[in-house]
Chains A and B, each alone.
Chain A
Amino acid sequence: MEFDIIITNAARAAVGPEALILALAAIGLNMHFGYTGLLNFGQVGFMLLGAYGTSVAVATFGWSLWLGVLLGLILATAFAITLGLPTLRLHALLFAIVTIAAAEIVRILVGSTDAIGLTGGPLSISFDAGAFYDLNPYPDGPNDRYGAGTFEFTGQQLWVMTVGWTLVALVSVGVFLLVRSPWGRVLKSIREDQDAARSLGKNVFTYKLQALVIGGLIAGLGGVLDAIKTSGADPNGFRPQVTFFAYAALLLGGLATYIGPVLGAILFWFLRELIESFLRQLVAQTWLPDAIANFFDGAEGIISVGMVGLALILLMLFRPQGIVGSRNEMQLNG
């Protein structure tokens, strides 16, 4: 067992592009659920539209990458509005059901064979993200590597990470500025009791829609980065579990906290890769009985997600407020 490799693998995942994309999804979800109390189970739909907006604009329409980014963000906003207008007046649980269905609808639509000409359908779509990498200040020759051992990135990866984490920081500051304002106070009052907010003259529907759009845009930005990172998009990358990973990250870090979703996303990928790496090494051990080795072999990824789920359950039992949340606040009910 080479534990140093397991740890560096995990650390690599914790700061890598996947973690920052998850962080953006979780920050958006925090805006929805953490501050406004909107039970959005369709966060992945916003990410999909960000990713496909960018990909389709560049690959199918032949637009520039930057126009593609803009289209991705516009589509995420449009999704928030079309989703929100008819459903935000519904009960919280009905809203949750509609959101998960809406996200599935867009995934099935872009992945359908009828959409091959536009989105590539069930095949993935790919485009040239050169305009993004042209700005890369890190030398990116075939031998350029950054980091040490398995904690190592190419120049391109490092550039995605630099831009991505900068965006995570900017978005976090933006959310902080919004939420500490009287506007944020209204959001929290809606989360606590929307009739109380109404009785004090707040137009609850408008605030919910604003929160839905902002959180959706942030997730859409995550989708855009995902498309740039992989130079394309694949409908299978936007299954409902992505939303639940974002929830896991949010709950791990701490609901309705500024830094919680970011820490949670980092921790989520750290744990996931830690367990997966560990299992992969375990399977290779000669002392392990074949039956057990065969059981784990090839299932490391799935099992590690399951273990993260288990960690989440334990967290809810022993530290329900997440890493940075306040326990006092968590224990207040009604």
Chain B
Amino acid sequence: MVESVQPILTVPAEVGTPKPNPILVVDCLERSFDGLKAVDIDHLEIERGVVTSLIGPNGAGKTTLFNLLSGFEQADKGRWQFDGQPATHTSPDKLARRGMIRTFQLTKSLSKLTVLDNVLLGAPDQQGERLWAAPFQSKWQQQEQANRQRAEELLERFNLTHMCHELAGTLSGGQRKLLEVARALMANPVLIMLDEPMAGVNPALGQSLMRHITQLAFEGVSVVFIEHAMEVVTGLSDWIVVLAQGQVIAEGPPWKVIHDEAVVDAYLGGQQENRQR
């Protein structure tokens, strides 16, 4: 398979640099908690159809940024666009219907629904979710069958087939992470935002999850994920954005970012100090 050189590779590694085909454009975004600026971003663009990872030390504002962009938290100021359309002050469910699907750091698996039902819930535009159509199975059965087939395929990819009819509450922490990713994929995302998808997942499954993520980008889905482990990030991402104290301190392709002084100071430096102790 011959891949053409991705346009993202021609972008200079500078904070706030414009991208050739951005899926997300953020301007002057601010959010404070008790006077402490959790997120303070002048300008940030996320490229379409590639894997972007968001890294930074604990408390850097990564999850808050996710919450703001996906509508789960209100920004103090700022505006952003998703897929060319304004996305400021938009409810999370509306953004999700436009194709911005996110997962959560603390998994939100629906304990008393079966694993299969969890995934089926993700399917978009379901006829049977309308009150008027719901009592009449004939109106939604065909779509439900098709969704079911797709859900079962997804569960198989994430090694959850054997748990299909179990309640999601019986899954282990790692399995719940996978379930959440499967559910998010079921929603046919344009942009998928994964909050620490590898945390607690066993390494073999983590590998397969990563392959899946790269495959997604290859299929044209934009991926942003938060991750702690630097080695995971470098092997997987096309672009890395580094946050520290709510600000973007560096961005660029992996091989450039890991040598960036500011990054080494703020993030890797901190880790190395910890190791020396």
Instruction: List A residues at the B interface (Cβ < 8 Å).
Output: 174, 177-178, 181-186, 188-189, 191-193, 195-204, 210, 256, 328-329, 332-334
Shortest Cβ-Cβ A-B pairs, 5 listed: A332-B169, A182-B128, A201-B96, A183-B134, A196-B108
Instruction: List B residues at the A interface (Cβ < 8 Å).
Output: 70, 72, 91-94, 96-97, 101-104, 108-113, 117, 120-122, 124, 126-131, 133-137, 140, 144, 167, 169-170, 183-184, 187
Chain B residues whose CB sits within 8 angstroms of the CB of A177 once the complex forms: 134-137
Identity of the chain B residue whose Cβ is nearest the Cβ of A214 in the assembled complex = B131
Chain B residues whose CB sits within 8 angstroms of the CB of A328 once the complex forms: 167
Q: Let me know if B121 and A189 touch, CB within 8 A.
A: yes
Identity of the chain B residue whose Cβ is nearest the Cβ of A329 in the assembled complex = B112
Identity of the chain B residue whose Cβ is nearest the Cβ of A330 in the assembled complex = B112
Chain B residues whose CB sits within 8 angstroms of the CB of A329 once the complex forms: 112, 167
Q: Let me know if A210 and B131 touch, CB within 8 A.
A: yes
Q: Let me know if A182 and B140 touch, CB within 8 A.
A: yes
Chain A residues whose CB sits within 8 angstroms of the CB of B167 once the complex forms: 328-329, 332
Complex alpha-carbon distance, A184 and B129, angstroms? 8
**Closest approach, in angstroms, between the C-beta of A297 and any C-beta of chain B?**
47
Q: Let me know if B134 and A199 touch, CB within 8 A.
A: no
Question: Which residue in B70, B121, B124, B183 is a CB contact (below 8 Å) of A186?
Answer: B121
Complex alpha-carbon distance, A26 and B167, angstroms? 26
Given contacts A201-B97, A201-B187, contact A189 B110 (CB under 8 A): yes
**Which interface residue of B96, B103, B121, B144 has the most chain A CB atoms within 10 A?**
B121
Q: Let me know if A188 and B110 touch, CB within 8 A.
A: yes
Q: Let me know if A333 and B169 touch, CB within 8 A.
A: yes
Chain A residues whose CB sits within 8 angstroms of the CB of B102 once the complex forms: 199
Complex alpha-carbon distance, A210 and B135, angstroms? 14
**Closest approach, in angstroms, between the C-beta of A98 and any C-beta of chain B?**
22
Complex alpha-carbon distance, A100 and B254, angstroms? 58
Q: Let me know if B96 and A200 touch, CB within 8 A.
A: yes
Complex alpha-carbon distance, A329 and B97, angstroms? 30
Q: Let me know if A192 and B113 touch, CB within 8 A.
A: yes
Q: Let me know if A192 and B101 touch, CB within 8 A.
A: no
Q: Let me know if B134 and A181 touch, CB within 8 A.
A: yes
Q: Let me know if B137 and A201 touch, CB within 8 A.
A: no
**Closest approach, in angstroms, between the C-beta of A206 and any C-beta of chain B?**
9
Chain B residues whose CB sits within 8 angstroms of the CB of A196 once the complex forms: 104, 108-110
Q: Let me know if B134 and A202 touch, CB within 8 A.
A: no
Question: Which residue in B112, B135, B140 is a CB contact (below 8 Å) of A188?
Answer: B112
Q: Let me know if B169 and A199 touch, CB within 8 A.
A: no
Q: Let me know if B111 and A334 touch, CB within 8 A.
A: yes
Complex alpha-carbon distance, A328 and B112, angstroms? 9
Question: Which residue in A174, A185, A198 is a CB contact (below 8 Å) of B93?
Answer: A198
Complex alpha-carbon distance, A135 and B27, angstroms? 70
Q: Let me know if A195 and B72 touch, CB within 8 A.
A: yes
Q: Let me know if B112 and A185 touch, CB within 8 A.
A: no
**Closest approach, in angstroms, between the C-beta of B151 and any C-beta of chain A?**
12
**Which interface residue of B111, B120, B131 has the most chain A CB atoms within 10 A?**
B131
